[in-house]
A and B are shown apart, each in its own frame.
Chain A
Amino acid sequence: MAEIAERTGSFLEGFDAFLRSAASRSPERLQAMRRSAIDRLASTGFPSKRDEEWKYTNISPVLERVFAPVITSQGNGVARRDVDRFTFGAVAWHTLVFIDGHFSRELSTLHPLHDGVIIGSLAETIDRQFEAIEPYLARVTPHDTDAFTALNTAFLRDGGFVFVPDAVAIESPVHLLYVATGGTGAHMVHPRNLIVARENSAVTVVESFVRISDGVCFTNPVTEIVMGPHASVEHYKLQDESPDAYHVGSIHSRQGRDSVYTSICVSLGAALSRHNIVSTLDGKGAECTLNGLFTATGTRHVDVHTTIDHLQPNCSSREVYKGILDGRSHGVFNGKIIVRPDAQKSDARQTNKNLLLDGRARINTKPQLEIFANDVKCTHGATVGRLEAESLFYMRSRGIGEQTARAILTKAFASEIVDFIKPDPIRAHLDSVLHEQIEHMGEAMIPGGA
Chain B
Amino acid sequence: MSTETDRIEQIATQEYKYGFVTEVDTDVAPPGLNEDVIRMLSAKKNEPEFMLEWRLKAYRHWLTMVEPTWANVHYPAIDYQAIRYYAAPRMKPKGPDSLDEVDKEILRTYEKLGISLEEQKRLTGVAVDAVFDSVSVATTFKDKLAGLGIIFCSFSEAVQQHPELIKKYLGSVVPYSDNFFATLNSAVFSDGSFCYIPKGVRCPMELSTYFRINTADVGQFERTLIVAEEGSYVSYLEGCTAPIRDTNQLHAAVVELVALDDATIKYSTVQNWYPGDKEGRGGIYNFVTKRGKCVGARSKISWTQVETGSAITWKYPGCILQGDDSIGEFYSVAVVNNLQQADTGTKMIHIGKNTRSTIVSKGISAGRGQNSYRGLVKILKKASGARNYSQCDSLLIGDKCGAHTFPYLEVSNSSSQVEHEASTSKISDDQLFYCRQRGIKSEDAVNMIVNGYCKEVFKQLPMEFAVEAQKLLGVSLEGSVG
The residues of A with any CB-CB pair to B shorter than 8 Å are: 52, 341, 344, 354, 356-386, 445
Indicate whether B34 reaches chain A with its CB closer than 8 angstroms. Answer: no
Complex Cα distance A375/B402, Å? Answer: 11
- The verdict on A341 contacting B399 (CB below 8 Å), with A367-B422, A381-B421, A384-B418 known, is yes
Whether the Cβ atoms of A359 and B414 lie closer than 8 Å is yes
For residue B160, which residues in chain A have a CB less than 8 angstroms away from its CB? none
Complex Cα distance A431/B402, Å? Answer: 43
For residue B417, which residues in chain A have a CB less than 8 angstroms away from its CB? 383-386
B interface residues, tally (CB under 8 Å)? 36
Question: Which of B20-28, B132-140, B212-220, B390-398 is near enough to bind chain A?
Answer: B390-398
Majority secondary structure of chain A interface residues (helix, strand, loop or mixed)? strand
- Chain B residue with the shortest CB-CB distance to A374: B396
Complex Cα distance A408/B415, Å? Answer: 19
The residues of B with any CB-CB pair to A shorter than 8 Å are: 70, 379, 381, 384, 394, 396-426
User: What are 11 A-B pairs at a CB distance below 8 A?
Assistant: A356-B413, A359-B384, A360-B381, A361-B414, A365-B411, A369-B394, A369-B403, A369-B404, A384-B379, A384-B416, A386-B414
For residue A381, which residues in chain B have a CB less than 8 angstroms away from its CB? 419-422
For residue A52, which residues in chain B have a CB less than 8 angstroms away from its CB? 70
Complex Cα distance A370/B401, Å? Answer: 11
Whether the Cβ atoms of B400 and A341 lie closer than 8 Å is yes
Whether the Cβ atoms of B415 and A386 lie closer than 8 Å is yes
Whether the Cβ atoms of B410 and A364 lie closer than 8 Å is yes
Whether the Cβ atoms of B399 and A383 lie closer than 8 Å is no
Whether the Cβ atoms of B420 and A383 lie closer than 8 Å is yes
Q: Could you say which of B409, B410, B420, B425 contacts A376, with CB atoms under 8 Å apart? A: B425
Whether the Cβ atoms of B411 and A362 lie closer than 8 Å is yes
- Chain B residue with the shortest CB-CB distance to A375: B426
- Chain B residue with the shortest CB-CB distance to A56: B410
Whether the Cβ atoms of B420 and A374 lie closer than 8 Å is no
Whether the Cβ atoms of A359 and B419 lie closer than 8 Å is no
Complex Cα distance A377/B426, Å? Answer: 8
For residue A375, which residues in chain B have a CB less than 8 angstroms away from its CB? 396, 399, 426
Whether the Cβ atoms of B416 and A369 lie closer than 8 Å is no
- The verdict on A379 contacting B407 (CB below 8 Å), with A371-B396, A384-B416 known, is no
- Chain A residue with the shortest CB-CB distance to B377: A384
Whether the Cβ atoms of A371 and B426 lie closer than 8 Å is no
In whole Å, how far is B357's beta carbon from the nearest beta carbon of chain A? Answer: 13
In whole Å, how far is B359's beta carbon from the nearest beta carbon of chain A? Answer: 13
For residue A373, which residues in chain B have a CB less than 8 angstroms away from its CB? 396, 399
- Chain B residue with the shortest CB-CB distance to A357: B414
Whether the Cβ atoms of B404 and A370 lie closer than 8 Å is yes
Whether the Cβ atoms of A359 and B413 lie closer than 8 Å is yes
- The verdict on A382 contacting B404 (CB below 8 Å), with A365-B409, A376-B426 known, is no
Complex Cα distance A418/B410, Å? Answer: 26
User: Most chain-B Cβ atoms within 10 A of its Cβ — which of A344, A376, A382?
Assistant: A382
Given A359-B415, A375-B396: 6 more A-B contacts, CB < 8 Å: A358-B414, A368-B407, A374-B426, A378-B424, A382-B409, A382-B418
